[in-house]
Amino acid sequence: MLHPRYLRYAKQALFFAFIWLLFGIVYSLLEQGILGRSSFYPSTQNRYDFKSSLLYATTGSFLIGLIHGWLEVSWLSQKFYNKALWVKVVLKSGFYLIFMFLFLTFFTLAINSYRFDASPMSKEVMYGFESFFTTFSFWSVFIYIAFGLVTAMLFAELASYLGPNVFLNFLFGKYHTPKQETRIFMFMDMRSSTTIAEKIGHTKYFELLKDCYADMGNAILETSGEIYQYVGDEIVVTWPEKVGLYRNNWAECFFRITRLFETRNGYYSNKYGSVPFFKAGFHLGLVTTGEIGTLKKEIIYTGDVLNTTARIQAECNTYGKSNLVSEQLIQKMNSKDSLQFTKIAKLHLRGKKELVQLYTLDQSSKTNSI
C-alpha cells in the first residue's frame, strides 16, 4: 500500500493535472473554432489538424499539470508556508512561468520535429520554432498557460485552507445530503496552556500554537488522519472507522506526535521557554455528516461521539494520564493488534445512564493485554 504522504501527493498532483487537462481541451476546441478547415496556422504556416492538436494539447497539459502539482505539494507549498496568499501567488507564479517557458520551448521543438519528421535541430524544424516564438501565437499560448497556472494555484490554496478532503467533498457534493458514518475521533489538548500563555504572552503563545500544529502535520498525514477543527489549543482529528483501525492509525498518530515533541524539546525550550505536551481522548461512534450554513458553509459532524470524546479528553487531568481511550474503540480493534491498555475507570456522562469504560494506552508495550 502506498505511503499516506505519497498517496496524498499523488491525489493532489492528479487534481492539478486534471485542471490543466481541462484547459488543454478547451484550448483545442477554441483553436478548432477559429481555424475551421484550415490546414495551416496563418501566422506561422506550420501544419494544423484538429486530432493532432487535441492530442498534443491534452498530453502536454496533463504532463504540465502533473509536474506542477508534484512540485507544488511536495516542495513549494512547504517553502512558502508562512507567506501571505498574494506573496505565494506572485513568487510561485514567477517560478512556474520560467518553468513553463522552458517546457513550452522543448515541447514545441518536439512537436515540430514529429510533424516534419526531422531532427529537432534541422533547418525546417528550427524555422517553424522561430516563426512560432516571434509571433503573437506564442504569447497567446503563454498567456493562456499563465491563466491556467494561476487558476490551478488558487484552487490549490483554497483546498489548503479548507483541507483537501473537505474541498473535494464540497466540489462533488458528497455531503450535500447528510450521511451517517462511523468515525474515530481524537481530541488533543495542550497541557497547562493557560499557564504557558500567561508566562510567554498571548502573541508569543499564538506563535507557539502555529509551530505545534505545523509540526503535527506530518504525523496526521502519515496516519491518514483528517483535521476537523482547531479550537484554540485543542485540535480535533478524525478517521473513517476502517482507515483509523488500519494498522492502528489512531494510536500511531498520537505516538508520533508525542515522540515529535520529545525530539523537539530543545527547539521549543530555546524559542518559548516551555515545551508543549498534549493529552488526548479517543472514542468511536456514529455521526451524521453534512453541509451546513448559508453565509459560510462548513461540513460538520453531529452526534454523541463528539461530546463523549471531549469529556474523555477532559478526564486526562483527573487521572493524570496523557491519553484515555473508550472501551467501544478498543473492542473494534483486531485481536492481533500489539498494543497494551490499562483499565482506568468508568465515565458517567451527564444526562445518560450508561457508563463509558476508560483505558489508557501504553505506548512502550508490544502486546495487547485486553
Average pLDDT, rounded, for the chain: 83
Domains of the chain from N-terminus onward: 4-162 (no CATH), 174-362 (3.30.70.1230)
DSSP state, 349? P
* Residue-level pLDDT at 299: 80
CB distance 190 to 233 below 8 Å: yes
pTM above 0.85, yes or no: no
* Residue-level pLDDT at 215: 92
DSSP state, 40? B
Helix residue ranges per DSSP H, 134-275 = 136-162, 164-172, 193-200, 202-222, 241-245, 249-263, 265-272
pLDDT digits (tens, 9 = 90+) for 323-346: 999 999 999 987 656 788 999 988
- pLDDT of residue 366 exceeding 50, the answer is no
The amino acid sitting at 314 is A
C-alpha dihedral sign at 73, 79, 82, 88: negative
Q: For residue 161, name the pLDDT band (cuts at 50, 70, 90).
A: low
What percent of the chain clears pLDDT 70, i.e. is strictly above it? Answer: 86
Q: Which residues pair with 355 in a beta bridge?
A: 348
Cα separation, 49 vs 31, in Å, equals 10
Q: For residue 67, name the pLDDT band (cuts at 50, 70, 90).
A: confident
For residues 34-57, give the mean pLDDT.
80
- pLDDT of residue 242 exceeding 90, the answer is yes
For residues 141-151, give the mean pLDDT.
77
pLDDT digits (tens, 9 = 90+) for 299-322: 889 999 999 999 999 999 999 999
Q: Which residue has the higher pLDDT, 294 or 205?
A: 205
Query: Three-class SS of residue 181?
Result: strand
- pLDDT of residue 174 exceeding 50, the answer is yes
CB distance 62 to 70 below 8 Å: no
